[in-house]
């Protein structure tokens, strides 16, 4: 799932409200790792 448009951030934020805190942390960590790997 690659995000290139800022507009999709709203959809993600909305879906976040349905997730538990633990799931949110996992997803955020995964996204941060993915971004850092891509920037290398």
Distance CA 9, CA 16 (A): 10
The pLDDT, as a whole number, for residue 29 is 92
**pLDDT-based confidence at 2, cuts 50/70/90?**
low
The Cα 4–Cα 9 span in angstroms is: 10
Answering whether pTM is above 0.75, one says: no
User: Is the confidence at residue 5, as pLDDT, over 80?
Assistant: no
Residues 6+ apart with CB under 8 A from 16: 24, 27
- Cβ atoms of 19 and 27 within 8 Å: the answer is yes
Query: Coil, strand, or helix at residue 1?
Result: coil
At 7-39, the pLDDT tens digits run 555 566 666 566 678 888 898 999 999 888 887
């Amino acid at each position: 799932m690659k995000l290139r448009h800022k507009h999709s951030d709203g959809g993600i934020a909305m879906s976040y409200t349905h997730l538990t805190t633990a799931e949110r942390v996992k997803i955020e960590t995964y996204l941060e790792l993915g971004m850092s790997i891509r920037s290398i």
